């Protein structure tokens, strides 16, 4: 057998999760929003599982499930294995499988991408911080931190709000420890050692604040599409008919598991074509 033939045979035999990511690189790239670098995205996905034995095992247990979770990250344009899109091992029917979860940075990214806000603020509050906010009187919270005063104490709350493009302030979300712990209790994997609630608790407090904010500000392409339609009406000085509006390209927007309850978030997508073996 020639060297080339041996190499080809070995390539065919390589069904590892990392090899499958590389195999479907072009398909993933076709799903991504245009601003995402496919090569960097693939490197992050491969690095995430190669750097964690438990993740590698979970991915190998069912490569199809793993590839589908990565497909969600690709379609949303979020970086796998980061605080935009966590890759976590979840036990199902006695074995570990990969579960993708949108992180707080991913939620914030989707809010920005919708095009309605100029800034998003999501911050945790610790017991030695100064925090003031009176709904109906204060437009935004006042949060003062002594950055050089040593230990700030335990986490006691989280708040979030967005500054809209016109300068207005969105609804301000303020959650205390009890409310954050209630969200944690709804996560089916929070008690496992690999859960982000265990490995990066503050990030999950931030995520809880961000996902509550996502109820009050646009997070999908629908908002941007409506703005473009309205602009077209003004430019033409005549209304766009319902039929014409419905004929506009309609990007599909998926439901994404936040990982801590049954609520979903929407994101901008492109049409997908996927090999049958990855379905």
At 47-80, the pLDDT tens digits run 999 988 999 999 999 999 999 999 999 999 999 9
Query: What pLDDT does 102 receive?
Result: 92
Give the single-character DSSP code of 135. Answer: T
Residue % of the chain over a pLDDT of 70: 73
Name the more confident of 243 and 200: 200
Mean of per-residue pLDDT scores for the chain: 81
* Per-residue pLDDT at 41 exceeds 70: yes
Phi and psi at residue 68, to the nearest 5°: -65, -40
Query: What pLDDT does 8 receive?
Result: 56
At residue 261 the predicted structure's pLDDT band, cuts being 50, 70 and 90, is very low
Q: Which residues fall within 8 angstroms of residue 112, CB to CB, at 6 or more apart?
A: 120
Helix (H, G, I), strand (E, B), or coil: what is residue 118? strand
* Per-residue pLDDT at 260 exceeds 90: no
Query: What pLDDT does 252 receive?
Result: 40
Give the largest Cα separation in the chain, rounded: 80
The residues that bridge with 175 in the sheet, in sequence order, are 158
Cβ atoms of residues 115 and 223 within 8 Å: yes
Query: What pLDDT does 188 receive?
Result: 74
Query: What pLDDT does 59 receive?
Result: 94
Query: What pLDDT does 187 receive?
Result: 80
* Per-residue pLDDT at 18 exceeds 80: yes
**Entry pTM:** 0.75
Rounded CA separation 186/51 (Å): 29
Least confident of 128-132, 139-143, 148-152, 188-192: 188-192
* Per-residue pLDDT at 6 exceeds 80: no
Cβ atoms of residues 263 and 26 within 8 Å: no
- Most confidently modeled range among 206-210, 222-226, 254-258: 206-210
* Per-residue pLDDT at 243 exceeds 80: no
- CA torsion sign for 120, 269, 33, 231 is negative
* Per-residue pLDDT at 169 exceeds 80: yes
Phi and psi at residue 208, to the nearest 5°: -60, -40
* Per-residue pLDDT at 158 exceeds 60: yes
């Amino acid at each position: 057998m020639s060297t080339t033939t041996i190499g080809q045979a070995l390539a065919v035999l390589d069904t590892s999760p990392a090899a499958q990511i590389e195999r479907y690189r072009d398909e993933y790239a076709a799903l991504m929003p245009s601003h995402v670098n496919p090569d960097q995205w693939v490197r992050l996905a491969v690095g995430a599982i190669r750097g964690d034995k438990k993740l590698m095992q979970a991915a190998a247990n069912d490569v199809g499930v793993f590839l589908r979770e990565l497909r969600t990250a690709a379609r949303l344009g979020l970086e796998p294995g980061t605080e935009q899109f966590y890759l976590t091992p979840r036990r199902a029917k006695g074995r570990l499988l990969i579960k993708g979860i949108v992180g707080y940075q991913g939620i914030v990214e989707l809010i920005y991408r919708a095009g309605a806000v100029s800034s998003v603020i999501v911050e945790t509050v610790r017991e030695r911080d100064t925090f003031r906010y009176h709904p109906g009187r204060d437009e935004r919270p006042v949060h003062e931190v002594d950055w050089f005063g040593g230990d700030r104490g335990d986490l006691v709350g989280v708040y979030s709000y967005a500054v809209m493009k016109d300068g207005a302030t969105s609804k301000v979300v303020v959650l205390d420890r009890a409310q954050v712990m209630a969200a944690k209790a709804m996560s089916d994997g929070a008690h496992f050692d690999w859960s982000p609630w265990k490995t990066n608790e503050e990030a999950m407090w931030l995520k809880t604040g961000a996902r509550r904010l996502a109820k009050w500000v646009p997070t999908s392409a629908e908002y941007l599409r409506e703005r473009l339609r309205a602009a077209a009406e003004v430019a033409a000085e005549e209304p766009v008919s319902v039929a014409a509006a419905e004929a506009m390209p309609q990007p599909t927007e998926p439901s994404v598991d936040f990982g801590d309850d049954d609520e979903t978030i929407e994101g901008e997508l492109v049409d997908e074509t996927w090999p049958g073996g990855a379905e």
